[in-house]
């Protein structure tokens, strides 16, 4: 299959232009100190849980051209209930061939190399993998491997899955703030993958070694909701969901464990994001 790709620096919508003003002006940066706080994000989440948010749903569907025929039919009691809607059975299929790697979610995908100094580079700036995970041990383990960043936008399906069979280590929460995951925040100098609230765990997988999976909260996302399985999990099994707003899922693989599709690598090197759906094949076991 051929993937679509996007360059966020060229294709800016109204939301992008608003965020640019927020992140690149003095007054906007002052306001961000309030908007990115956990209290404000949780307040926004409570509002979107209430029946008062229902009138927002229809205009949002129309503005973002969301094909609701793909989703389970129901009457939504809040915007958050709509936002976390479930896809119909058969709409997102994982390939069960053990050696193939599928996308865990609908998103815009970028792939980064983790170098021998446990760093990765985004838009010309170097970031520490240890600061992302708050673990020197994990940083050492993933030296020379790949970090896959799946950026979910507001119109994406906001549930995510496991990419292989295996058993889980403990889920660890790293508290922080809630910057947008839009590339404009990185361009403005914010290390969102070090500053934002996130949850991570290691999946001891059957085919791809120890996979680090991390969920990153974003602006106005008050909740990362993981199902917290205690033992074995299966390829394609739902892991959790984000409530209200854009968010990010990160997967990390150790050196020499996977081969990412050439098209995805090329897009990432050229500063394009690859548009993927949950279950799309994006690589294979090396």
Catalytic positions are: 106, 247
Which H or E element spans position 31? Answer: helix 26-35
Q: Judge contact between 285 and 207, C-beta under 8 A.
A: yes
Dist. CA 186–CA 193, nearest whole Å? 9
Q: How many CB atoms lie within 10 A of CB 103?
A: 26
Strand duo 107-113 + 146-152: pairing: antiparallel
Cα-only R_g, the chain: 18
CB 150 within 8 A of CB 106: no
Listed in order, strand segments (DSSP E) in 129-272 are: 146-152, 159-161, 166-168, 172-174, 198-205, 210-216, 223-226, 232-233, 238-243, 247-253, 258-260
* C-alpha–C-alpha distance, residues 140 and 143, integer Å: 5
Question: For residue 171, what are the CA distances in angstroms to 103, 127, 229, 245?
Answer: 20, 23, 10, 22
């Amino acid at each position: 299959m051929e993937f679509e790709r996007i360059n966020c620096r060229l294709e800016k919508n109204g939301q992008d232009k608003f965020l640019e003003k927020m992140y690149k002006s003095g007054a906007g940066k002052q306001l961000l100190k309030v908007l990115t706080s956990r209290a404000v994000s949780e307040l926004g989440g409570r509002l979107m849980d209430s029946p008062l948010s229902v009138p927002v749903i229809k205009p949002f569907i129309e503005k973002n051209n969301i094909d609701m025929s793909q989703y389970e039919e129901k009457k939504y009691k809040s915007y958050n209930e709509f936002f976390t809607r479930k896809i119909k059975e058969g709409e997102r299929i994982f390939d069960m061939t053990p050696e193939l790697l599928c996308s865990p979610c609908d998103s815009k995908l970028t792939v980064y190399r983790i170098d021998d100094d446990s760093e990765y580079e985004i838009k010309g700036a170097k970031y520490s993998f240890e600061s992302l995970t708050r673990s020197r041990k994990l940083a050492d383990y993933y030296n020379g491997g790949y970090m896959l960043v799946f950026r979910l936008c507001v119109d994406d399906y906001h549930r995510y899955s496991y990419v292989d069979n295996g058993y889980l280590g403990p889920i660890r929460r790293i508290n922080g703030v809630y910057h947008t995951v839009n590339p404009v925040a990185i361009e403005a100098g914010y290390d969102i993958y070090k500053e934002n609230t996130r949850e991570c765990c290691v999946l001891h997988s059957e085919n791809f070694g120890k996979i680090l999976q991390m969920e990153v909260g974003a602006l106005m996302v008050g909740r990362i909701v993981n199902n917290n399985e205690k033992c074995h999990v299966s390829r394609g099994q739902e892991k959790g969901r984000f409530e209200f707003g854009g968010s990010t899922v990160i997967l990390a693989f150790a050196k020499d464990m996977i081969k990412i599709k050439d098209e995805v690598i090329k897009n990432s090197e050229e500063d394009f994001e690859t548009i993927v759906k949950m279950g799309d094949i994006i690589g294979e076991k090396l």
